[in-house]
């Protein structure tokens, strides 16, 4: 990874924190001693920061340079023959909100047969294209029950964050999506009707949820991605 890529990762991470309300431009200015206009220009890609300035921003936000590096998708303990692909298993909030997966956010790596990821088709909106594509999450019993028996407690779901379209991946088969429902991640079948996202469970015991889109939001803004693979623990 070069300096320009790290610079962009830092910019996107700060924008994510601003969006979630954990920092503001004015607070960042006080923390670093930079002017708000200087920081605003950086966040809008109108100027770059020097290495010294990046160090000050990283220190102010309790980040390390390693946090700007991509998670390692290849396990050094695996054979060199390319027999396995590795996907980071992360928290639900990381899967929903973080464009780049920091090494410190990885709980463990999920091994998959070689070639599996390369065969998965994408259908992504432009704002989501820079995001790291594949992540996986573990599901508690409460998370899994609405989709029982498709999902079992402690299942791991592989999420393709480059598929946030509601178009079917396969004809006549409903996609399962990871969706932002409030501040939580939910796995459901999803439709878009009358300006609302309709979240349907697999189990009829559970209710259908409706999500009103806010002004300026599109359905793809709330869809973290399509569930491309489910690993149910025995």
Does the structure show a pLDDT above 50 at 77?
no
Q: According to the model, what pLDDT value does residue 150 have?
A: 92
Could you give the residue ranges of the DSSP H alpha helices within 46-154? 51-60, 92-97, 141-144
Cβ(106)–Cβ(135) below 8 Å: no
**Angle (nearest 5°) at CA 222 between 167 and 155:** 80
pLDDT tens for 144-190 read 999 999 999 999 999 999 999 999 999 888 999 999 998 889 999 99
pLDDT tens for 99-143 read 888 888 899 999 988 788 888 999 988 788 889 999 999 999 999
Coil vs helix vs strand at 16: helix
pTM of the shown model: 0.71
Using pLDDT thresholds of 50, 70 and 90, give the confidence band for residue 73: very low
Angstrom distance (rounded) from CA 34 to CA 100: 25
CA separation (Å) from 102 to 7, 31, 183? Answer: 14, 22, 20
pLDDT tens for 34-59 read 999 999 998 988 888 888 888 899 88
**Angle (nearest 5°) at CA 94 between 150 and 136:** 35
Fold of domain 3-68: 434 Repressor (Amino-terminal Domain) (1.10.260)
Does the structure show a pLDDT above 60 at 234?
no
Q: According to the model, what pLDDT value does residue 81 have?
A: 45
The ranges assigned to domains in the chain are: 3-68, 84-231
Average pLDDT, the chain: 86
Fold of domain 84-231: Umud Fragment, subunit A (2.10.109)
Q: How many Cα atoms within 13 Å fall on the side-chain side of residue 32?
A: 25
Give me the percent of the chain exceeding a pLDDT of 90: 44
Q: Do domains 3-68 and 84-231 have the same CATH topology?
A: no
């Amino acid at each position: 990874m070069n300096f320009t890529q790290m610079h962009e990762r830092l910019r996107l991470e700060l924008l994510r924190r601003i969006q979630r309300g954990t920092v503001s431009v004015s607070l960042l200015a006080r923390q670093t001693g930079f002017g708000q206009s200087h920081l605003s220009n950086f966040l809008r890609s109108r100027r770059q920061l020097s290495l010294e300035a990046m160090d000050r921003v990283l220190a102010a936000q309790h980040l390390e340079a390693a946090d700007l590096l991509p998670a390692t998708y290849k396990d050094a303990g695996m054979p060199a023959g390319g027999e396995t692909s590795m996907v980071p298993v992360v928290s639900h909030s990381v899967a929903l909100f973080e464009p780049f997966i920091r090494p410190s956010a990885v709980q463990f790596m999920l091994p998959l047969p070689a070639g599996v990821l390369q065969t998965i088709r994408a259908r992504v909106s432009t704002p989501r294209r820079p995001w790291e594509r594949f992540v996986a999450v573990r599901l508690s019993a409460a998370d899994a029950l609405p989709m029982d028996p498709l999902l079992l407690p402690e299942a791991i779901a592989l999420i393709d964050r480059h598929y946030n379209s509601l178009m079917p991946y396969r004809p006549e088969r409903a996609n399962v999506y990871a969706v932002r429902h409030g501040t939580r991640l939910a796995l459901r079948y999803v439709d878009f009707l009358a300006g609302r996202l309709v979240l349907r469970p697999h189990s009829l015991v559970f209710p259908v949820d409706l999500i009103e889109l806010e002004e300026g939001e599109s359905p793809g803004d709330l869809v973290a991605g399509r569930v491309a693979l489910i690993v149910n623990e025995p």
